[in-house]
Amino acid sequence: MAKGYWVSVYPTITDPEGLDGYNELARLAVKAAGGRTFARGGSRVVAREAGVAERVVLIEFDSFEQAVAAYESEAYQKALAALPDGFERDFRIVEGLD
């Protein structure tokens, strides 16, 4: 079964401390759903072409379906509600290769 991944890129972060509430709730929701964070941060990003050299987050789940269910979970929806106003991110759920 192919794994599932959350891929998030944050083009602009104007208030990093404003993300603290979301980050804590999201971390708990991801852990409860069986997700594993492989990359989080932006101190070492090489952006090419139209890439953005800001914060990138990569989270792995055992399956694509598990990744979708984690996003739709009550715990993660609570985290999303904690995102600050004016926040911008590019978020995708993708299926890995078998």
pLDDT category at 42 given cuts 50, 70, 90 is: low
Residues with Cβ within 8 Å of 39's Cβ and at least 6 positions away in sequence, in order, are 56, 57, 58
44-72: per-residue pLDDT in tens? 778 888 777 778 899 999 999 999 999 99
CATH of residue 59's domain is 3.30.70.100
- Mean of the per-residue pLDDT values for the chain? 90
18-41: per-residue pLDDT in tens? 888 999 999 999 999 999 999 887
pTM, two decimal places: 0.88
Question: Which residue's structure tokens are 């079964």?
Answer: 1
How far is it, in rounded angstroms, from Cα 70 to Cα 49?
31
How far is it, in rounded angstroms, from Cα 61 to Cα 33?
8
Q: Which domain holds residue 30?
A: 4-95
Beta carbons within 10 angstroms of residue 62's beta carbon:
15
| Number of domains present in the structure of the chain | 1
Contact, 37 vs 59, CB < 8 A? yes
